[in-house]
Amino acid sequence: MCAACGTSLPPEALACPSCHQLAHAQALEDLARQAREREAAGAPFAAAQIWKQALELLPPESSQAAVVRDRIASLGATARLGDPARKPVPNWLKRFGPLGAAAFAFFGKIKFLLLGLGKIKTVLTMLASMGLYWTLYGWRFGIGFVLGIYIHEMGHVWALHRFGLRASTPMFVPGLGAFISLYDSPANVAQDARIGLAGPLWGAAAAIAFLIPGSFLHNGMWLALARATAMINLFNLTPVWQLDGGRAFRALDRQQRMFIGVLLAALWYVTGQGMLLILLAGAAYRIFWSKDPAPSPDWTIFLQFSGLALLFAALMFGISIGPSPGGALIEISR
């Protein structure tokens, strides 16, 4: 029923045929307010997505719809719809072709990592966690292990920023890990899955960064850090609850979940890593008992999840069987 004149409206009506009052006026006001807040916060991509939702509630031929379409187009100048805004590669780096673009992306992520260290709560909780692991395993391992967790969490923050969503910097809980607080919710399951896997993707980079000096220098400390980082990231791929793997599995259909279950079983058979049995149990639950498979496949998430599981399992297996120059397995030296 029209709130202005009382005319009965069909469910699909966007405006009253009698007085031309918008049928979803209140919802449109709320969406407009949210979109302006995103614009003020410097998140044009998120604002454009909200304006698109508002556009669906407006009659296509209305003047309001024309204004919203213009607004979306203007936001598109700084944020491509469907993909978050990215700064262009400087002209001088373009001379180096793909290497220049890769260097720009790499140093951009390094700069982003430093942003979290400017927050006093993040730094203080990091120091508390370092103190715990320092006491247990020595200062080198304590610092490196916490930095690996920090990189993982900043991967989530980076993905959230790409999608125009607000979040805190990482907060550490000694002995338990770290977490971030989300101030905005992902727009859909696919977006949430990409935010979830961004942590292990950055965690994979940290594990490889530890592995390289460990391999070339035959240093047990670096290798121990690589294995510990791989282990904690592999655990986060467990497809249950709010773990990163659980968020990723929501974007997979039943067939993709079955393929990953077979992969996890094969990886366990080859490597003997008990952690994979935990992931396999979670995958079995999501395959046979969970009622939330995605209606259509998401191949990006499928390939990312599969690749990460393979990488972390290989790192844990390779490092655990790899002897040091003296013939002993890895030892953490204080």
Give the tens place of pLDDT for each residue, 104-125: 455 556 677 777 787 899 999 9
CB atoms within 10 A of CB 152: 27
Question: Phi/psi zone of residue 102: left (φ > 0), alpha (ψ -120 to 50 degrees), beta?
Answer: alpha
Q: In the chain, where are the structural domains located?
A: 1-86, 98-321
- Average pLDDT for residues 84-102, to the nearest whole number? 53
Question: Is residue 132 predicted with pLDDT exceeding 90?
Answer: yes
**Among 276, 285, 283, 287, residue whose Cα is nearest residue 313:** 276
| Coil, helix or strand at residue 239 | coil
Q: What is the pLDDT of residues 164-176, one digit of tens each?
A: 788 888 999 998 8
Structure tokens at 211: 């592995």
Question: Is residue 98 predicted with pLDDT exceeding 70?
Answer: no
Estimate the crossing angle of helix 299-321 against helix 220-236, to 10 degrees: 140
Structure tokens at 52: 């698109």
Q: What is the pLDDT of residues 183-192, one digit of tens each?
A: 878 878 888 9
**Alpha helices, H only, the chain:** 25-40, 44-55, 63-75, 91-94, 98-115, 120-137, 139-162, 189-217, 220-236, 244-249, 254-271, 275-288, 299-321
Across the chain, what does the average pLDDT equal? 82
Question: Is residue 284 predicted with pLDDT exceeding 50?
Answer: yes
Which has the minimum average pLDDT: 7-21, 54-68, 125-139, 306-320? 7-21
Pick the more confident residue, 52 or 258. Answer: 258
**Residue owning tokens 């395993």:** 137
What separation in angstroms does the CA of 267 have from each of 111, 174, 260, 308, 316?
A: 36, 31, 10, 12, 11
Binned at pLDDT 50, 70 and 90, residue 13 comes out as confident
- Average pLDDT for residues 122-140, to the nearest whole number? 93
Binned at pLDDT 50, 70 and 90, residue 329 comes out as very low
Q: What is the pLDDT of residues 70-85, one digit of tens each?
A: 777 666 544 433 344 4
Q: What is the pLDDT of residues 31-66, one digit of tens each?
A: 888 888 877 776 776 777 788 888 888 888 787 888
| Coil, helix or strand at residue 209 | helix
